[in-house]
Structure 1
Amino acid sequence: MLSLKNVYFFQAGIGILANAFLLLFHIFNIYQNHRPKPTDLTTCHLAFVHIVMLLTALDTLSADMFMSLNFPNDFKCKALLYMSRVMRGLSICTTCLLSIIQVITISPSTFCLSRFKHKLTNYVSYAFFCFWSLNLSSNSNMIIYTVAHSNMTNLFNINMYCSLSSMKPIIMEIFLTLALSQNVVFVGIMLLSSAYMVIFLSSHERRSEYLHSTSITPRTSPAKRATQTVLLLVSFFVIMYCLDIIISSFSTIFGKYDPVIWDVQRLVVNVYAMASPLVFISSDKRIIGIFQKHD
């Protein structure tokens, strides 16, 4: 699986560089304007989450880093898997928040959520606090039950280094229910917001056709362009999330670590973290203008 691992390291490298560029661009933009937009804050947060997510997923580099600090193997497993799960949860939450912000931004004054439009920046800060609190607590079982590989039986292998020790059925059901309900709620909100944005784009397209019929040249508005970007991101995320569930189901059914399934799952999980900054960069006129000036 050497070639697949090379693809994975290439994917992680591109994703880290793209997210780092996006993060620095938005930090500089926020520092210049002093009045950050909700989308800038959310994109900045998403880029940071994806950088940490990609770094913690690099098993070899992460293991070497903890080895150089002489941390015990159990601590390395607990730290890496806990951070990985928390970042994946934050990625879902932040993408969901981005879709909600876009729905509120494009909605008319009669829409039920329009009253939040003028204080979105404050609400985004509160949302970040809630997301971090939720994911840090809901994944706390990884700290307690993750162990390094040993000769013990009744361990469920997670990857080539770490396993989950057995836990009481009631505790397992609580954490599984919490994780499943959290994902269902956020993915469901994404789908609902996507449906609203599709309706908005369809009605906007009909108005554009009418303007075109009256000899007025239609132009793509910033709101429509931003809505298309968010819609593309949400659609891509849902597809990758469904693929991840399918692959994870195979691992659960087999009940043991399989290097092929693990490598494929790592590729699928991190595709969104790599692709999302590229979508933002290619659709942001401010960034495109920077590259055009240096041509």
Structure 2
Amino acid sequence: MSLLSNVFYFQNGIGVLANVFLLLFYIFTILYHRPKPMDLISCQLTFTHTVMLLTGGVVWVTDIFESLNIDNDIKCKTAFYIHRVMRGLSICITCLLSMFQAVTISPSTSFLANFKLKLKKYIIYAFFYIWSLTLSFYSYLIFYVVGFTNVSETNQMKVTKYCSLFPPNYLIRALNLTVTTSIDVFLVGVMLTTSAYMVIILFRHQKQHKYLHSLSHRRSSPEKRASQTILLLVTFFVVIYWVDFIISSTAVLLWMYNPVIQSVQKLVINVYPTITPLVQISSDNRIIKILKNIRSKYH
């Protein structure tokens, strides 16, 4: 367990540092430059992942909260609720990022091209609905997350040193799992559909301009690079999502957590918010240029 804990803290540290750096970059871009529509979405995703990682180690969050003069029940409810909301926002905003990139690279003759000029307006509406629905949907956790007391007497499932889940009846657990899974499967389906669409567009573009490869490559590289980055993130997210889904759904239905499996699940959950900023940083020419300038000043 100590090895898993060390890996977990190392993973969290890398993820938080990368996300904070990326978040500061997007905030600066939005405030002082003309941001692209994708910058607004990426900023939201980065903020979500930063908070998700900070609250993802609910173990150490509640350990820190232990020193505060706040009721343990309130601390547990707050930490679990915020973390679950951030996980929900992560899949929604990743889906949104994939959808808007598909619109961005769509040909001028396609139906999606009609939405290009109003992307920023639609993004604001999308943010409002996503945040409102996610905050509302996960409010049920307030009733089922409690400060840990005694498992043998209350049948609570201990998930951290100080927090546990109060067991709803089997029907409610199954219903909650069904609704949550249906929403997630729909969003993953949208991601895969828009990703397939982007692959087709990029393939057609490459095929049509093969005879002008060097010129075409120079003109289309920013959009192509952004699309490839999002395709990579979506693919990575889908794989991580299903691994996490298998572990978490089994635990919810059986109402049983093995400490080792629980630690592995935390590592799996945090892989996507840790890798995402690293991929975005390495594929954004603006950030690469900034890092090169900083490096040249000190060498």
Fold shared by both chains (TM-score > 0.5):
yes
Deviation string for 1:67-102 (max 9, x for gaps)? 232222211221111111100000000100000110
CA distance in 2, matches of 1:99, 1:10: 29
- Residue 110 of structure 1: how far off its partner (Å): 2.6
Which sections of structure 1, spanning at least 5 residues, go unmatched? none
Q: 1:280 to 1:216 in 2, by over 3 A?
A: closer
CA distance in 1, matches of 2:201, 2:267: 33
Q: Find the residue that maps to 1:71 and give its secondary structure.
A: coil
CA distance in 2, matches of 1:69, 1:161: 14
CA distance in 2, matches of 1:234, 1:253: 27
CA distance in 2, matches of 1:171, 1:243: 23
With 107-116 and 272-281 compared, the bigger mean Cα shift is at 107-116
- Contact 1:251–1:261 under 8 Å retained in 2: no
Q: Find the residue that maps to 1:163 and give its secondary structure.
A: strand
Deviation string for 1:218-259 (max 9, x for gaps)? 435211111001101101100100111122244346532211
- Counterpart residue type for residue 22 of structure 1: L
- Residue 37 of structure 1: how far off its partner (Å): 1.6
Q: Find the residue that maps to 1:126 and give its secondary structure.
A: helix
Matches within 5 A, 1:2-151: 2-33=2-33, 35-151=34-150
Aligned position for 1:175 = 176
CA distance in 1, matches of 2:134, 2:216: 48
Deviation string for 1:190-228 (max 9, x for gaps)? 01011101111211222343324xx86843521111100
With 217-226 and 165-174 compared, the bigger mean Cα shift is at 165-174
Aligned position for 2:206 = 205
Aligned position for 2:193 = 192
- Contact 2:58–2:80 under 8 Å retained in 1: no
- Contact 1:50–1:91 under 8 Å retained in 2: yes
- Residue 178 of structure 1: how far off its partner (Å): 2.9
- Residue 179 of structure 1: how far off its partner (Å): 1.5
- Contact 1:77–1:147 under 8 Å retained in 2: yes
Deviation string for 1:238-282 (max 9, x for gaps)? 010011112224434653221110110001000000000001100
Q: 1:94 to 1:216 in 2, by over 3 A?
A: closer
- Counterpart residue type for residue 186 of structure 1: L
- Residue 126 of structure 1: how far off its partner (Å): 1.2
1:286 pairs with 2:286: yes
Q: Find the residue that maps to 1:256 and give its secondary structure.
A: coil
- Counterpart residue type for residue 50 of structure 1: H
- Contact 1:138–1:175 under 8 Å retained in 2: no
CA distance in 2, matches of 1:15, 1:45: 16
CA distance in 2, matches of 1:73, 1:216: 62
- Counterpart residue type for residue 204 of structure 1: H
CA distance in 1, matches of 2:285, 2:216: 20
CA distance in 2, matches of 1:108, 1:166: 51
With 150-159 and 48-57 compared, the bigger mean Cα shift is at 150-159
- Contact 1:138–1:178 under 8 Å retained in 2: no
Q: Find the residue that maps to 2:164 and give its secondary structure.
A: strand
CA distance in 2, matches of 1:217, 1:252: 51
Which sections of structure 2, spanning at least 5 residues, go unmatched? none
CA distance in 1, matches of 2:168, 2:157: 11
CA distance in 2, matches of 1:174, 1:83: 22
- How many residues are matched? 292
- Contact 1:159–1:257 under 8 Å retained in 2: no
- Residue 183 of structure 1: how far off its partner (Å): 0.7
- Contact 2:49–2:90 under 8 Å retained in 1: yes
